[in-house]
A and B are shown apart, each in its own frame.
Chain A
Amino acid sequence: MTPVAGIPKHVEATLSRRNLLKSAGMLVVSFAGFDPGEANGQAPAGPYPEVDFHQLDSWIVIHEDSSATFYVGKTDCGQGTGTSFRQLMADELDVAYEKTTCIMGSTDITVDQGGSGGSTAMERDSWPMRRVAAEARRVLLEMGSQRLGAPVDQLAVSAGVITVKGAPSKNVTYGQLIGGRKFNVTLTGSNINATNGRALVKPVQELKNTGLSPQRYDIPAKVDGSLKWAVDMRLPGMVHARNVKPPFAGAKLVSVDESSVRKMPGFVKIVTKGNYVAVVCEREEQAINTAKALKLNWEKPATAPFPSSEDLFRYMREVKPTSSSRSVVVGDPESAFTNAPKLIEADYDVPFQGHTAISPAHALADPSNGQMTIYSNDMKSYGMRRGVADFLGMPREQVRVVWMEGPQGFGRTAADDAGCEAAYLAKEIGRPVRVQWMRDEETAWDTKAPAFAVKLKGALDAAGNLLALDYDARSADYNHVGYNEPDTVLIAQLMGIRPAKPASGSASMPSEMYAIPHRRMATHVVSLPLVWETPLRTGNLRDPNGPQSTFASESFIDELAAAANADPFEFRMKLLTASSAEDGGFRRARSIAALKAVADAYGWDRRSSPKPRGTGDTLTGRGIAYAFRGQTVVAEIAEVEVNVRTGRVWVKRLVAAHDCGLVVNPESLRHTVECAMLHSLSRALHEEVQFDGEKVTSVDWNSHPTLTHADVPGEVRVVLVNGDPNPNRPDLPPYGAGEAACKPMLAAIGNAIYDATGVRLRRIPFRANRVLAALKTSQA
């Protein structure tokens, strides 16, 4: 295979390995399933069949110098997961961390672990990696035993060298045993997560690199400009495309005036189907200009697609839900509420919030030789391969996705949409096509975290104990789009393609461990009038519903604490210690440990909120909140300064206590948690998708503000906690990180603003004008 110009070196080296024994100076094995006819005796329908995860050779290649390359089915969206995989696999394999490399997420050379999502990198996907690395070590020890003429239990292994115990001159390296050759070992497991060999993984105490913080290997090339990203991919003969989106949600394309652009420089083609429109030009700026100049005639829909963002929460509360969950009931909430001495009620609102990635979506598709290669940063490259193949009606074996780095991937981003668009256009044009969305397109049309309207009710007894709590959430999440679905990607929607039924969507419940005698929790999903071809389409954004529901529930707990005249930390501790029931994951004990750790690290003084109102322009206050995501628990404290003249909120200090079980790389975990907190700080202070009755109006960084350097707290501190109540137990398994830390932040900020000012803000975001208005109302 001739190397294609412009493919990054590491990708090129691995792509070319299919037909060459030698690439990048190393002998390599070929994967099972790569050679037509090898797998199951049947010829695959194309050159890119799936990589067989049952072959050890699909996961690990040992080179002659005893270095190892790991091929994993994940993508690293900037949280440093690749470095952590190397640490764990190096530990299980017994090679030096420095002598390992990790190749990720390109569908024809790495096994399909689904890419990224749900903070599952360590929690779920690191397990098969550890097991296959342990299996490789086992096989190598057996080979070493034969070579050295000593039984396996007489052998020691360190940094890729096997020695006979007590006779260190008798040794052999991994490279000498297998360098550049195949293991030919078949693994077991009914699915990839269950992949297993005969070896057992090591006990945590024996993992040497795990728990250390080697620097992330991907960072140097990101700061010296040498990394080639998906956005940098260029191919000979490629053309540039830009979409032209409907100017109103639900608009119908009536006519296209090709003559308005036919004579423009570099013009190649206008592609339309249904309401999908794209222009293709030789150069990038030509495509941008042509897309702007193209005259189209659109017809507005007969009825309004959605209410305006100002009217959204009224609409959500009044409309009949499309579905409702079964209520979770503890005790007898109804009579508790009827007889309670003190009742509190409040409504909480969170608007739609988008991904608004720093780089608009992009992809390059190459239709050469009747196959389809997509160069993409999509975090679910494997799903994109299937989605594109199905969308184009091509056998999956003819489609591959080469994963390359890109802007933040926090869930179902528009990268999914751009991949299908590029592939469709490449097939139409017969040349490689690069698609890039524009800023307004990205900000208006990327998928959104659903808006939430939550109703809360609480009952306190005369002593200020929480007797009963009612949580009732509505989420505007009907037709939540999945990942890379050939019938819900935007191009499919605009072409009029629909699945049989829209996805039902979801809302979520609080995730704390409070023991409350009487409780009812219910969730509902509501739909906006327009379901298809709308910019207000929901999709996963980190924990899709967690920040919204936690904002409501953890703010309301604060309201109850204030009504009980109790310290917000102690009020929570009392609710946690009210039950001693042991639970899976020791969630109650770990909640208490996280809350204690964050209070200690912050230096929390016990008193009720709000604090006596200060004088002067700047009021300060502190707020606390906590939540689980899966088995990961995080507690956060924010200290804010509120300027009462401008309404501006500045968060001075942020402290988190984070317990996600086994920590693989503490430094990169801390960094991920820091950034997750700031992401939610941005959502708390700035972010809101705004729209009038026909289109999204927040379309750039002026109309859709985000956190900036000016907002950065003076201190951001992350304390890593092991809250396991039994100190003699080996570490808990690794749980997820990234999403959990996003959850409590909105409430922590709102609670801190209340502490500072005595004003309770129940609607996100806390923009200066809203804070100011609330302060004024409270004084009036």
Chain B
Amino acid sequence: MSVTLKVNGKSHTVDVDASTPLLYILRNDLGLQGPRFGCGLGQCGACTVIMNGVATRSCIVPASAAKGEITTLEGLARNGELHPLQRAWIDEQVPQCGFCQNGQIMTAKALLDRNPKPNDAQIREGMKGVLCRCMTYYRIQAAIKRAVKTIAAKGGAA
């Protein structure tokens, strides 16, 4: 079937089977490399994109259900300027291998969009299902807290 997707502000039409997971369309048809395959089961978060404002695991979204605005890691920067979360990730030197960080950043973005001032417990809860096997969790949480401050200082706009 022919599917039209709006990804990072641009429209794309691809011809794929309706059951094709969104992840493979983003990676293999659109050439994006932010969302990644980690489990294909909705359990790890590596494939996270933001679909209509919601952090969504693209490995379990079939093409037929991929609707509306999709943002990937590549689409977070604005006018060449990194999103405050990405900046904070660099300032806190978060990644080890970095493979999971797409899911961490995208999930944190959706979290802060919903709740710009999460407390520690809300960060833990909101990020709980995004796994990192290099165990960079401690710095991820520090980076989220740092980004919260930058965003607040900018008047709340990320």
Which chain A residues have a beta carbon within 8 Å of chain B's beta carbons?
Answer: 77-79, 215-216, 218-220, 222-229, 231-232, 234, 265, 283-285, 288, 356-360, 405-409, 436, 438-439, 667-668, 671-672, 674-676, 678-679, 681-682, 700-702, 706-713, 716
Q: Do A709 and B141 touch (CB < 8 A)? A: yes
A681 to B133, CA, bound (A): 12
Q: Taking beta carbons and an 8 Å cutoff, which residues of B are in contact with A?
A: 16-17, 19-21, 24, 27-28, 31-34, 36-41, 43-44, 46, 72-74, 76-77, 82, 86, 89-90, 93-102, 105, 123-125, 127-141
Contact A232–B33 (Cβ < 8 Å): yes
- Inter-chain CA distance A284–B28, complex, in Å, is 8
Q: Is the CB of A671 within 8 A of B73?
A: no
Residues of B within 8 A of A668 (CB): 93
Contacts of A285 in B (CB 8 A): 16-17, 19-21, 24
Cα distance A369–B31 when bound, in Å? 26
B39 touches A439 (CB 8 A): yes
Residues of A within 8 A of B136 (CB): 671, 675
Interface of A: prevailing SS: loop
- Flag if B99 contacts A215 (CB, 8 Å): no
- Note all chain B residues with C-beta closer than 8 A to A78: 95-98, 134
A222-B98, A712-B124 known; 17 other A-B pairs, CB under 8 Å? Answer: A219-B94, A232-B27, A234-B28, A284-B28, A285-B20, A356-B133, A359-B36, A359-B46, A405-B98, A407-B99, A439-B39, A674-B138, A674-B139, A678-B137, A679-B134, A709-B137, A712-B141
Q: Quote the shortest CB–CB distance from B98 to chain A (angstroms).
A: 3
Q: Are B33 and A405 in contact (CB under 8 A)?
A: no
Q: Are B90 and A358 in contact (CB under 8 A)?
A: no
Complex: A678 Cα to B46 Cα, angstroms: 19
**CA A671 – CA B19 in complex, angstroms?**
41
Chain B residues, Cβ within 8 Å of A436: 37
Q: Are A224 and B131 in contact (CB under 8 A)?
A: no
CB neighbours of B34 from chain A (8 A): 225
Query: Judging by beta carbons under 8 Å apart, are A438 and B40 in contact?
Result: yes
Q: Which chain A positions have C-beta within 8 A of B41?
A: 439, 700-701
Which chain B positions have C-beta within 8 A of A222? Answer: 95, 98, 101
- B97 adjacent to A709 (CB under 8 Å): no
Alpha-carbon gap, A439 to B135, bound state (A): 19
Complex contact B95–A706 (CB within 8 A): no
Does A225 lie within 8 Å of B74, measured CB to CB? yes
Question: Are A283 and B28 within 8 A (Cβ)?
Answer: yes
- Supposing A360-B37, A700-B43 touch, asked if A219 and B129 sit within 8 A by C-beta, the answer is no
The reply to whether A216 and B93 contact each other, CB–CB distance below 8 Å, is: yes
28 pairs, A vs B, C-beta closer than 8 Å: A77-B97, A78-B96, A78-B134, A219-B95, A223-B89, A224-B76, A224-B77, A224-B86, A226-B74, A227-B98, A229-B33, A265-B17, A283-B28, A285-B17, A357-B133, A358-B100, A359-B46, A406-B97, A436-B37, A674-B138, A675-B134, A676-B135, A681-B135, A682-B135, A700-B41, A706-B133, A708-B129, A708-B137
Cβ contact within 8 Å between B97 and A409: yes
Partner of B93, one of A219, A358, A709: A219
Contact: A709 with B127, CB < 8 Å? yes
Q: Check if B105 sits within 8 Å of A231, measured CB to CB.
A: no
A358 near B132 with CB under 8 A, answer yes
Q: Are B38 and A359 in contact (CB under 8 A)?
A: yes
Q: Which of B39, B73, B89 contacts A219 (CB 8 A)?
A: B89
> What is the CB-to-nearest-CB distance from B150 to chain A, in angstroms, rounded to a whole number?
15
Which residues in B have their C-beta under 8 angstroms from that of A409? Answer: 97
A77: which B residues are within 8 A, CB to CB? 96-97
Give the complex CA separation of A436 and B46 in angstroms.
15
Give Cα distance in the complex from A220 to B72, angstroms.
16
Chain B contacts of A228 at CB under 8 A?
33
- The interface residues of chain A lying within 8 Å CB-to-CB of B73 are 223-225
Contact in complex: A223, B97 (CB < 8 Å): no
How far apart are B156's CB and chain A's nearest CB, in angstroms?
A: 22
For the complex of A and B, list the 7 residue pairs with the smallest distance between their C-beta atoms, beginning with the closest.
Answer: A222-B98, A78-B97, A678-B135, A78-B96, A225-B73, A225-B34, A701-B43
Interface centre among B82, B105, B136, B137 (most CB of A within 10 A): B137
* Chain B residue with the shortest CB-CB distance to A442: B39
Q: Report chain B residues within 8 Å CB of A234.
A: 28, 31
When C-beta atoms are compared, the residue in chain A nearest to B82 turns out to be: A224
What's the Cα separation between A707 and B138 when bound, in Å?
Answer: 11
Residue pair A407, B97 in contact (C-beta under 8 Å): yes
Nearest-neighbour CB distance to chain A for B59, whole angstroms, equals: 10
Q: Are A702 and B28 in contact (CB under 8 A)?
A: no
Instruction: Name the CB-closest residue of B to A701.
Output: B43
Closest Cβ of chain A to B34, distance in Å, is: 4
**Contact at B129–A679, with CB atoms within 8 Å?**
no
Q: Are B33 and A408 in contact (CB under 8 A)?
A: no
Q: Which residues of B contact A226 (CB under 8 A)?
A: 74
Give CA–CA (A439, B138) in the complex, Å: 25
Complex CA–CA separation, A226 to B44 (angstroms): 21
CA distance A172 to B38 in the complex (A): 52
* Set B72, B89, B137: member contacting A712, Cβ < 8 A: B137
Choose among B32, B44, B124, B138 the residue that contacts A358 (Cβ–Cβ < 8 A): B44
B137 near A223 (CB under 8 angstroms)? no
Partner of A407, one of B19, B32, B127, B133: B133
Which chain B residue lies CB-closest to A680?
B135
- Chain A residues with CB under 8 A of B72: 225
Are A225 and B33 in touch, CB under 8 angstroms?
Answer: yes
Complex Cα distance, B101 from A716, in Å, reads 20
Residues of B contacting A708 in the complex (Cβ-Cβ under 8 angstroms): 128-129, 131, 137
Given contacts A408-B133, A701-B131, contact A283 B93 (CB under 8 A): no
Q: Contacting B125 at CB < 8 Å: which of A79, A710, A716?
A: A710
Docked Cα-Cα span, A227 to B36, in Å, equals 12
Chain A residues with CB below 8 A from B130, complex form: 709
User: Is the CB–CB distance between B93 and A215 below 8 Å?
Assistant: yes
Q: Are A219 and B98 in contact (CB under 8 A)?
A: yes
Q: Across the interface, which residues of A come within 8 angstroms of B102, CB to CB?
A: 225
